[in-house]
Amino acid sequence: MKLYELTIHEAHELLKKGEVTSSELVSAVVERVEGVEPRVKSYITLTCEQALERARQADELIARLRKSGEEIPPLLGIPIAIKDIICTEGIRTTCASRILENFIPPYDATVIIRLKKAGMVMIGKTNLDEFAMGSSTENSAFFPTRNPWDLERVPGGSSGGSAAAVAAGECIGSLGTDTGGSVRQPAALCGVVGLKPTYGRVSRYGLVAFASSLDQIGPITKDVTDAALLLNIIAGYDPHDSTSVNVPVPDYTKALVPDVKGIKLGVPKEYFIEGMEEGVEKAVREAIAKLEEMGAEVIEISLPHTEYALPAYYLIAPAEASANLARYDGVKYGLFLPGPDLWESYRLTRGNGFGPEVKRRIMLGTYALSAGYYDAYYLKAQKVRTLIKQDFDRAFEQVDVIVAPTSPTVAFRLGEKVDDPLKMYLSDVFTIPVNLAGICGISIPCGFSGGLPVGLQIMGPAFGEEIVLRVAYAYEQATEWHKKRPEL
Ligand code: GLN
């Protein structure tokens, strides 16, 4: 096995035993990046030099800890990729936008502080749809990322760079962000694992805001164990984020029990819709049958307001985005294009700094919030959001987790949906309800359709990450899908 193919937990074991050094591991990943990055294009910024230096330091620390018999932190010496919307001190954080092309944050996001404390070696900042708005990574202001399974196809989005980097072996694990599906959908399309934690589980401090009531940072990894390991590190209360919740963080790896006997799986009929790809439905139905065969109880359920989730999201998320993105005025930071007066300077800066999708969202959001339309659009969407949450509340009285496809299709072709925003938005029909309800969900590989990976989504109640991880782990251990890697 090649070193860049290792999972976090495998790499950790080898480092612990002294069978491999962090320098070897990081060098292997750097070489892999050099080999495949020109084709995949996962990264906006690479930090290979710093990574190799950090690896040397990690090796010294590992040697010292081994000598004194102390525990080796779980991420020590392991190369991790970070979505380029999470602030990293001294390292450019662009959000894949021209407006922040040269922005260097003066501080680390809370998740970065936590990962560094656990010993992470950051390998680079990954590509995304501008400000995380999109489902294909084609909205990046710089270049699209390609799907490692088929370079003519998209990796999904908006965390497409993070998912492609994991699938291509350009890092050992990564972080993405999920506002409407951006961790789970690219994970599904790239054949890897993506976990969206419960709203409030992970601090958003230092995550550049898209839609603050929906955004959540989550791990994208090669297997479920790694997702649990990363969640252990990034989860927890943070006084810097008033929406982070002060509930104890369990050891999520303890939830990794390969047993689903008696667990009640809800299968929502609204998630098996017309227009969904046949091969996707087949793979997901087979995965559900497999879980049933393993002893889970399958119960058909209804989430009756599902069809309103997408329209509600496309009012709430743009409304919040229009407010959040008002700060990019050229005065405080980022791009500044001076004009003859202040208004003209704003117009030039924002007009040139934002791409078309971001502008579309700002206009939609500003309209939905404007006097006279607020009640009809924004307020109504908030009411729908409550109904969607209540659908899930009722369902979780009856079942432990809900299983469904992550995405209605496999990876689509580059360019296929760029001219049709509605078609692009439909990519997230199955992931958006989870964000609106504030609950958690994971996508794990469950098969292939036409040679491309299919994702199984497992949704759980608020702070139900343990049961979600358990079902995901049990399925993973009983199948081989997570071991499949694209040939590059
Ligand atoms: N694709 C959705 C959107 O464009 C979700 C994006 C996300 O989760 N960041 O808004």
**Which residue in this structure is represented by tokens 């479920």?**
224
Per-residue pLDDT tens digits for 442-482: 999 999 999 999 999 999 999 999 999 999 999 999 999 99
The reply to whether 12 falls in a domain is yes
Structural domain including 313 reads 307-380
The reply to whether 45 falls in a domain is yes
| pLDDT at position 274 over 90 | no
Give the Cα separation of 79 and 29 in Å (integer): 8
In terms of domains, do 208 and 354 share one? no
In terms of domains, do 207 and 78 share one? yes
Q: What is the mean pLDDT of residues 129-136?
A: 98
CA of 181 to the centre of ligand 1 (A): 6
The reply to whether 320 falls in a domain is yes
Helix 380-398 × helix 309-324 angle, to 10°: 120
* Beta pairing, strands 264-268 & 297-301: parallel
Ligand 1 atom having least distance to the Cα of 314: 10
The reply to whether 300 falls in a domain is no
In terms of domains, do 241 and 344 share one? no
The residue among 380, 368, 388 whose CA lies nearest residue 317 is 368
* Set 42, 135, 136, 182: catalytic member: 182
Last residue of a domain, one of 203, 234, 260: 260
CA of 67 to the centre of ligand 1 (A): 47
In terms of domains, do 346 and 252 share one? no
Q: What is the mean pLDDT of residues 320-326?
A: 98
In terms of domains, do 61 and 210 share one? yes
| pLDDT at position 398 over 90 | yes
* Beta pairing, strands 193-196 & 173-177: unpaired
The tokens for 80 are 């991790």
Last residue of a domain, one of 380, 404, 437: 380
Which amino acids bring their CB within 6 angstroms of ligand 1? 132-135, 158, 178-182, 210, 317, 428
In terms of domains, do 11 and 99 share one? yes
The reply to whether 137 falls in a domain is yes
The reply to whether 450 falls in a domain is no
Per-residue pLDDT tens digits for 403-438: 999 999 999 999 999 999 888 999 999 999 999 999
Please say if 182 is a catalytic residue.
yes
The reply to whether 181 falls in a domain is yes
Give the Cα separation of 93 and 119 in Å (integer): 21
Q: How confident is the model at residue 333 (pLDDT cuts 50, 70, 90)?
A: confident
SS3 annotation, 151-185? CCECCCCCCHHHHHHHHCCCCCEEEEECCCCCCHH
pTM above 0.85, yes or no: yes
In terms of domains, do 236 and 338 share one? no
Q: How confident is the model at residue 275 (pLDDT cuts 50, 70, 90)?
A: confident
Last residue of a domain, one of 201, 235, 260: 260
In terms of domains, do 9 and 123 share one? yes
What are the φ/ψ torsions at residue 153 (nearest 5 degrees)? Answer: -115, 160
Candidates 84, 135, 159: which one to mutate for ligand 1, based on the most atoms within 8 Å of Cβ?
135
Per-residue pLDDT tens digits for 75-105: 999 999 999 999 999 999 999 999 999 999 9
Give the Cα separation of 409 and 427 in Å (integer): 8
Question: CATH number, domain at 236?
Answer: 3.90.1300.10
CA of 129 to the centre of ligand 1 (A): 9
In terms of domains, do 248 and 374 share one? no
**Which residue in this structure is represented by tokens 């749809």?**
129
Number of domains composing the chain: 2
The reply to whether 8 falls in a domain is yes
